[in-house]
Amino acid sequence: MKVYAHRGSSGTHPENTIAAFRAAAVLPVYGVEFDVHMTKDGELVVIHDESIDRTSNGKGFIKDMTLAELKHYDVGKGFSPKFKGETIPTLREVLYVFKDTHHHLNIELKSDIFPYDGMEQKVLQMLKDYRLEERVVISSFNHEMVRNFKKIAPQIETAILFVEVMIAPHEYAKVVGADAVHAFFPTVLRPMGQEVVASGRKVRVFTVNEELYADTLKEIGVDAIFTDYPEKMYRHLNILN
Ligand code: G3P
Ligand code: MG
């Protein structure tokens, strides 16, 4: 079972920051996950929430601020004073960290609350610039965006994200045009989990920070977990088991 660093090494570093990504980039884990929003001036930035309120020393929605405005805020010192000076990274800055590493990149497009028109095309162009098309999976809770992305770039892996216990999500994934299923941890413990695994479609599970849960998911046969503690989880899965 593979391990993805969720929002970078976010248990030990401020989530979705260059510090968290640099820490993940030196780990032997399979991949890294991060979240993308779009600014008022159309720049792609890596941050989890629609607003900067929770993770920075500022307030406001990403969609209402320019990149230059966003760069004024600190997203490190709230986690620990030693990360003071971290700013919200652009997608380009994050891709740069991984351009020469082996890591598979899960780019989560956070367009389920605000639509971010044109985001798919901008992300695709950047992946082409960095020649990363074969090393990414594009996921979203916004399944219209997953469908759109698959239409414009059929060669790039896609995934639907969901938190509900669903009936045959692997069948639904076909409708959307998604290659993989990214599911919320508890749903995979239901019959649905085994059904999707049996379908042969990749199942990746978020967010798994307990070793015991990781062991259970390994038994079920999921492809990968997203974890805030990638180093700990990698060591557990590769040494103890
Ligand atoms: O992409 C997996 C996981 O990150 C989805 O949930 O809220 O942590 O972005 P969230
Ligand atoms: Mg995410």
The mean of the pLDDT values for the chain is 97
| Strand segments (E) across the chain | 2-6, 31-38, 44-46, 104-109, 136-140, 157-162, 180-184, 203-206, 224-227
**Nearest alpha carbon, ligand 1 atom 10:** 48
pLDDT tens digits, one per residue of 4-34: 999 999 999 999 999 999 999 999 999 999 9
| Upstream peptide bond of 101 is cis (omega within 30 degrees of 0) | no
Number of domains in the chain: 1
pLDDT, position 241: 52
Out of 2, 10, 35, give the residue to mutate to test ligand 1, the one with the largest number of ligand atoms within 8 Å of its CB.
35
191 pLDDT band (50/70/90 cuts)?
Answer: very high
CATH assignment at residue 176: 3.20.20.190
CA dihedral for 79, 85, 90, 93, sign (positive or negative): negative
**Nearest alpha carbon, ligand 1 atom 7:** 48
Residue 70: phi and psi, rounded to 5, are -60, -35
Residue 48 a catalytic site member: yes
Residue 103 a catalytic site member: no
Measured in whole angstroms, the distance separating CA 209 from the mean position of its chain's CA atoms is 15
pLDDT tens digits, one per residue of 157-177: 999 999 999 999 999 999 999
**Which residue in 6, 103, 170, 236 is the catalytic one?**
6
**Which residue in 13, 37, 48, 143 is the catalytic one?**
48
- On whether the CB atoms of residues 155 and 124 are closer than 8 A, the answer is no
Residue 47 has pLDDT above 70, yes or no: yes
Model's pTM, two decimal places?
0.97
CA torsion 180-186-192-197 (nearest 10°) is 40
- Residue-number span of the structural domain to which 145 is assigned: 2-240
Ligand 1 site residues, Cβ closer than 6 angstroms: 6, 33, 35, 48, 108, 139, 161, 182, 206-207, 226
Which H or E run contains 212? helix 211-220
**Nearest alpha carbon, ligand 1 atom 6:** 206
Residue 240 has pLDDT above 70, yes or no: no
pLDDT, position 239: 81
110 Cα nearest atom in ligand 1: 9
